[in-house]
Amino acid sequence: MQFTLATLALAALAAAKPMPGGVTSAIAPSASPPADCKTSYSGSFSIQTVNVSSSAKVKRQADSTLTMTLDNGVLMDSSKRTGYIASNSQFQFDGPPQAGAVYTAGWSVCSNGSLTIGDNSVFYQCLSGTFYNLYENNVLNAGQCSPVYLNVLAGSGNSAVASQTVDGQVTASPVAPVSAISDGQPQWGEGVPT
């Protein structure tokens, strides 16, 4: 009988406490966005990657376009998942963001058209097989990573180079759209800049 009562007591205690899970509060960088950046954007938009050193843009191919909104520093995809920087510095979308997320807010669009987190406008595309994952910093510190800007393109039916899979991952490619694959990670497929 004691074992049964102890088991019931533990089950009741476990049911009363919330289970660990995703992040439900806004976490923004301590650095404010530059003065010319806005934390809200009217309407939806897409992004394209632009090489930092050459300013080479990528051509759009037929694929699902990653469409986002920005409201009060919070980035959302068309499936209402939050755009955030994960614990491994990767840019991805989840609803709610994964436990350990670094930033879930603090996004802005600057007057030059770049998507920014805090005061940072430079992201990194890092080769992972035949596509690139997008990171907030060069966490891999490897030759397969290069700095890029994420340029904002107004509207959702334009020549964007970002696309997204059903699980929220964003992918990018010098010849294919930045897309979001189903687990929320922005990625960029392999190709040649134009």
Q: Let me know if residue 3 belongs to a domain.
A: no
What domain count does the chain have? Answer: 1
- Of residues 17 and 70, the one with the higher pLDDT is 70
Q: Let me know if residue 16 belongs to a domain.
A: no
Q: Let me know if residue 92 belongs to a domain.
A: yes
C-alpha closest to that of 48 among 29, 61, 33: 61
Q: Let me know if residue 21 belongs to a domain.
A: no
pLDDT value, residue 181: 65
Q: Let me know if residue 125 belongs to a domain.
A: yes
pLDDT value, residue 165: 57
- Over residues 121-137, the pLDDT tens digits come to 999 988 888 778 889 98
Q: What is the domain extent for residue 136?
A: 28-189
Q: Alpha carbon 25 to chain centroid distance? A: 16
- Over residues 100-122, the pLDDT tens digits come to 999 999 999 999 889 999 999 99
Q: Let me know if residue 132 belongs to a domain.
A: yes
Instruction: Decide if pLDDT at 21 tops 60.
Output: yes
Instruction: Decide if pLDDT at 141 tops 50.
Output: yes
Q: Quote the tokens at residue 83.
A: 């755009």
Question: Lowest-confidence range among 55-59, 65-69, 79-83?
Answer: 55-59
Tell me the average pLDDT across 3-7.
Answer: 42
- Over residues 32-41, the pLDDT tens digits come to 888 888 999 9
- Residue 3's identity, in one-letter code, is F
184 Cβ neighbours under 8 A, 6+ residues apart: 81, 92, 93, 94, 167, 168, 169, 170
Q: Quote the tokens at residue 103.
A: 């930033």
pLDDT value, residue 63: 44
pLDDT band at 49 (very low <50, low <70, confident <90, very high): confident
Q: Let me know if residue 4 belongs to a domain.
A: no
Rounded to whole angstroms, the Cα distance separating 12 from 167 reads: 34
Q: Let me know if residue 11 belongs to a domain.
A: no
